[in-house]
Structure 1
Amino acid sequence: MTLMILIFQIAIPMMLIGWLAFLPAASLVGLMLQAMGTGAFLFALARVAQWAVPVWWFPWLYGGLWLVSFVISLSRVRSPLLLPLFPDKPLEWALFALSIVLLGVGSWYGARALAGRHLPPVDIVDIANPFGPGRFLVGHGGSNKLVNGHLRTLDPEVERFRPWRGQSYAVDFFGLGPWGLRAAGWRPRDPNAYAVFGAELKAPCNGTIVRAEDTLPDFEIPDQDTVNRLGNHVILRCSEAEIVFAHMRQDSLSVAPGDDVVVGQRLGAVGNSGASTEPHLHIHAQRPAPEAAPPISGEPLALRIDGRFLVRGDRLNGATN
């Protein structure tokens, strides 16, 4: 995973920016395609990749560098309008083709990522902000698999997904610390090094606690519990929907099954229990599971938090009171 991040979120963006700045195309159409292709590809990376590592503002940095590199490329050409319209050498034609590929790939993936911002064809549950103080980044969220990996559990052909089907439109949150970093280090083993660990969680709706687990351990990174997948968790029934909080901190819960809660009441804190490879909050909405069925196998619903349908890369400020 680290290698993929280094390649796709650092090496490739810097190579594309450097190519545009220092090796501009020698034809007018080629230069325009080079700028459009690199720009489209960088935009797609910004919308598709998780920017918890490196920091969330890297796509904005790359966008600024792309603009500077385009200006530099124009400055290297005394008069762009005097350039030949199309390439006249084999290498230039090869780079011309590369620009077209980048434009096509970037446009397709960028459009798919933007399509993930549309509300899915399921009922929407509106809830209040579930966080206490802090800043949070969406790692998974949205209405297609490109930006929300949880949607894989909608596949009826995969039997092992059926017990988890209720989580299909889940949202995962990382925390943001100083400089927008999610942790003190690249991937420290200690969960306390992560900005989200210990973040306060509050009831986002009036309702009744139907399940609560508080005794499971918080693991060091990247260890996890693949048997008790939810880890420490709370399931809060609000009217006809259930809101599920997973991977909470051991011994942090302030509620128990049967408790009635109101919006803003403390539930517990974010941890790293269950099937979690690093501290984060998993939250989703579902219809109550059938009697004797697994607890998160109910009909999946989509969440809107403080009126926002949150998608990968979005940020949310926690409530201050």
Structure 2
Amino acid sequence: MTVTILFFQIALPLALLGWILLLPSGSATGLLLQTAGVAAFLFALARIAQWALPVWWLPWAYGALWLAIAVAVLALRPSIAGLPVWPTGLGWTSAVLGAALMATGGWFGAQALSGRSPPPVEVVEIGNPFARGQFLVASGGSHPIVNAHMRTLDNSVERFRPWRGQSYAVDFFGLGPWGLRARGWRPADPAAYAIFGAELRAPCSGVVVAAEGHWPDYEVPDQDMVNRLGNHVILRCGAADIVLAHMRQGSISVAPGDRVDIGNRLGEVGNSGASTEPHLHIHAQRPAPDGAPPISGEPLGLRIDGRILVRGDRINGADG
């Protein structure tokens, strides 16, 4: 995981930016393809990758660097109009590579943007589940490229059926000083993560149909693959169940049968269940049939504070 992140989120973007700066194409067509291709690829990478590691604002820094380099490269030439229109010899290499980057970035970037569309199911409107703090969407949206949960829509995979209700879930990381999600690259102590202990409130008015709070909070990256929800609360709000999972041991302040209003305290974010690091998992579903696994109901979409949240989006807690 670390090697993949270092390559795709640091080494590759810097290499592409260095390519424009140090080896600009000698033709107008080649230069335009080169700069546009890098821009398209960096845009797609910004929308697809999880930027909790190393930091959420790094794609913006790459965008600023791209703009500065593009201006600098053009400024070093008397006029782009003075360049030959078409590349010659090895100049075709950068032109073809630029075109390939533009096509790849355009294709994947368009798919990522399509994840902002409402999913093809009923969408449930809920409020902000966080009391305070700043949070980054790790997975969310209506396309698998930005929401890993959507793989459970595949009914042909038997092991996905007990989890089908979470197919349009949204996962959140916390953001601390300088936009960092944790004190360190991947510390073992869950308390080192900005989201650990964040207060959760009811995002809708309803009845508590399930609440468990005795499961332990694991060190990173350990997890419980059997009790996947870990400590959790399930609220029945109208015809939908809202599931909040991976909560902190001993923090849950409601019990089955309780009625809650929007804004009532539910507990805190933890690192219980099938969670490789502290985060909040929240999803909407139809109530599961009697005797069925609790998150096997038909999946529903979520609109939180009026937004379809997609990987890379940020929200602040309701108290600012």
- 2-side partners of 1:78 and 1:19: how far apart? 20
Alignment of 1:5-154 (within 5 A): 5-89=5-89, 91-154=90-153
Aligned residue in 1 for 2:271 = 272
Work out the number of aligned pairs and report it.
320
TM-score, normalisation: structure 1: 0.99
Aligned residue in 2 for 1:156 = 155
Aligned residue in 2 for 1:289 = 288
The 3-state SS of whatever aligns with 1:302 is: strand
- 2-side partners of 1:20 and 1:319: how far apart? 43
Give 5+ residue unaligned stretches, structure 1. Answer: none
Amino acid at match of 1:34: Q
Aligned residue in 1 for 2:308 = 309
- 1-side partners of 2:28 and 2:306: how far apart? 46
- 1-side partners of 2:82 and 2:213: how far apart? 71
| Contact 1:208 1:236 (C-alpha < 8 Å) held by counterparts | yes
The 3-state SS of whatever aligns with 2:156 is: coil
Q: Write the deviation string for residues 64-83 of structure 1: whole angstroms up to 9, x where unpaired.
A: 00000101111232221111
Amino acid at match of 2:213: D
Aligned residue in 1 for 2:202 = 203
Amino acid at match of 1:126: E
Amino acid at match of 1:196: I
- 2-side partners of 1:118 and 1:204: how far apart? 22
The 3-state SS of whatever aligns with 2:195 is: coil
- 1-side partners of 2:308 and 2:110: how far apart? 18
Amino acid at match of 2:252: L
TM-score, normalisation: structure 2: 0.99
The 3-state SS of whatever aligns with 2:276 is: coil
Aligned residue in 2 for 1:298 = 297
- 1-side partners of 2:82 and 2:250: how far apart? 71
Q: Write the deviation string for residues 276-312 of structure 1: whole angstroms up to 9, x where unpaired.
A: 0000000000000001000000010011111111000
The 3-state SS of whatever aligns with 1:210 is: strand
- 1-side partners of 2:82 and 2:60: how far apart? 33
Q: Write the deviation string for residues 202-228 of structure 1: whole angstroms up to 9, x where unpaired.
A: 001111100111000000000000000
The 3-state SS of whatever aligns with 1:104 is: helix
- 2-side partners of 1:142 and 1:29: how far apart? 36
Amino acid at match of 1:277: T
Give 5+ residue unaligned stretches, structure 2. Answer: none
The 3-state SS of whatever aligns with 2:287 is: coil
The 3-state SS of whatever aligns with 1:142 is: coil
- 2-side partners of 1:235 and 1:94: how far apart? 56
| Contact 1:140 1:147 (C-alpha < 8 Å) held by counterparts | yes
- 2-side partners of 1:284 and 1:186: how far apart? 28
Aligned residue in 1 for 2:175 = 176
- 2-side partners of 1:216 and 1:244: how far apart? 16
Q: Write the deviation string for residues 94-141 of structure 1: whole angstroms up to 9, x where unpaired.
A: 121111110000000000000010001100100111101100000000
- 2-side partners of 1:75 and 1:18: how far apart? 16
Q: Write the deviation string for residues 135-161 of structure 1: whole angstroms up to 9, x where unpaired.
A: 000000000100000000000110100
Aligned-residue RMSD, C-alpha: 0.8
Q: Give 1:46 deviation, angstroms.
A: 0.5
- 2-side partners of 1:274 and 1:115: how far apart? 31
The 3-state SS of whatever aligns with 1:298 is: coil
- 1-side partners of 2:225 and 2:241: how far apart? 23
Q: Write the deviation string for residues 177-208 of structure 1: whole angstroms up to 9, x where unpaired.
A: 00000000100000000000000000011111
Alignment of 1:183-202 (within 5 A): 183-202=182-201
- 2-side partners of 1:5 and 1:317: how far apart? 26
Amino acid at match of 2:215: L
Q: Give 1:172 deviation, angstroms.
A: 0.0
- 1-side partners of 2:79 and 2:119: how far apart? 49
